[in-house]
A and B are shown apart, each in its own frame.
Chain A
Amino acid sequence: MSEPTNTPEKKLSPEDLPRRKADYRLEQLDDELLLYHPSDTRILYLNQSASLVWGLCDGEHQVSQILQLLSDLYPEAKEIEADIYATLAQFLEHGCIEL
């Protein structure tokens, strides 16, 4: 299991349990998602892989487990770990998950 890289995603550790915050309105459009919170007019667009990460932010999957699951799903993706950390960092920045 790789350690987080020296990027803004560094604050995430493999043992963290990300959990979606309540009250987020979600619209699924094919394999992608749009996230919206009533108190914040910003919209977050999630592509297919980010949608899967969102689904696993249930407070029961550690970051390391999310990495493993998606690595198994996308074995050919070379940057999958960096992408997942970046996605989680984006969720944290938008305040839509908590650790």
Chain B
Amino acid sequence: MIKDEHKKRRIAFAGSLLDIEYQGAPAERVMAFLFRDLPQYEAMPGNEATAHFTYRFESDRIDGNLCLFAGDELERSCDSEADMALHLISQACYQLAYFSTGGLVMHAALLSRNGQGILLPGSTGKGKSSLAAWLLHRGYDYLTDELVYTPDDHSLQGWGLTRPLNLKRAARPLLREVFHISETEPGVMSNALVDLIPPEKFGSGKVLQSVGLERIIFPRFQPSASLEIRKLSKAQTGLELMQCLINARNLPEHGFPAVANLARAIPAYQMVYGGFEQVTGGLFASSKI
């Protein structure tokens, strides 16, 4: 039973529905910060589906802590809005991927220029968010820095789970020197490990929900490396994409045929780079993008 003062936000992504019931001003701030760029879910009249998972987020407690419940079980308690924001967005991504159906969900960033999508697959920690920030800074439109869904309808559309960019502590010099963003400035949530930064802090590109996929680039950052671009064969592309797939257990044949179809349809490259100034040229210098 929802208390009168609880609000609810339903998040729909990749065939999954996640409900977050929340209460209190700090929770409202965290929810607004994390999910403001996601469209509000609109159920068909008379067809209100049940969410796959529900969180309850309370922040008006006497002890001042912010608490996140999964059912009746306390999952996380902390006194920092930034800590809770980081935990909540990570868990939301996990739950949405866990219950996803009808297509591939991949660890990937997704950016767009002139309506053409560039998919940047890579597991956590590969530098996708930093590269996404750089491309935003260069005028690209933003979809996501973490989770991409490609429905199994042969449309070659990519949908991004839009969230604030998640940059690790190691990227702080970059934030200050390249993007001129301070971790303490308004509109940024930071903790000891991570800075969560809304996309508009990096550039004036639009925030999009979906885009046609035109190119796949597997980025590999290596300090001091020269720029190297290698076109991948379709089979190599399929192999790399399978390693970024996170909902294989939900898919027919673990998503293998669907990944192969994607690899057949979209050209892919591996890009080794040692600095962002290299990225301005190369694959991103095409007049098509």
Contacts and interface: CB of A to CB of B under 8 A. Distances in A.
Interface of A: 25, 27, 29-30, 32-34, 36, 38, 41, 43, 45-47
**Max chain B C-beta neighbours (<10 A), residue from A32, A34, A41, A45:** A34
Given A41-B248, A43-B242, A27 B257 contact: yes
A27 B260 CA distance: 7
Nearest to A36: B256
B254 A36 contact: yes
Interface of B: 233-236, 238-239, 242, 248, 253-254, 256-257, 260, 263-264
B31 to A, nearest CB: 35
B253 A36 contact: yes
B254 A41 contact: yes
A25 B260 CA distance: 11
Contacts of B254: 36, 38, 41
Nearest to B237: A29
B250 to A, nearest CB: 13
- Looking at chain A's contact residues, the main secondary structure is strand
Contacts of A34: 235, 238-239, 256, 260
B239 A43 contact: yes
B227 to A, nearest CB: 25
15 contacts: A25-B257, A27-B235, A27-B238, A27-B256, A27-B257, A29-B234, A30-B235, A32-B233, A33-B235, A34-B239, A36-B253, A38-B254, A41-B254, A43-B242, A47-B235
A50 to B, nearest CB: 10
B76 to A, nearest CB: 30
Contacts of A43: 238-239, 242, 256
Nearest to A35: B256
Contacts of A45: 235-236, 238-239
Contacts of B257: 25, 27
Contacts of A27: 235, 238, 256-257, 260
A33 B238 CA distance: 10
B152 to A, nearest CB: 15
B195 to A, nearest CB: 34
A27 B254 CA distance: 13
A30 B239 contact: no
B253 A25 contact: yes
A28 B121 CA distance: 22
A96 to B, nearest CB: 14
A32 B248 contact: no
Contacts of A46: 235
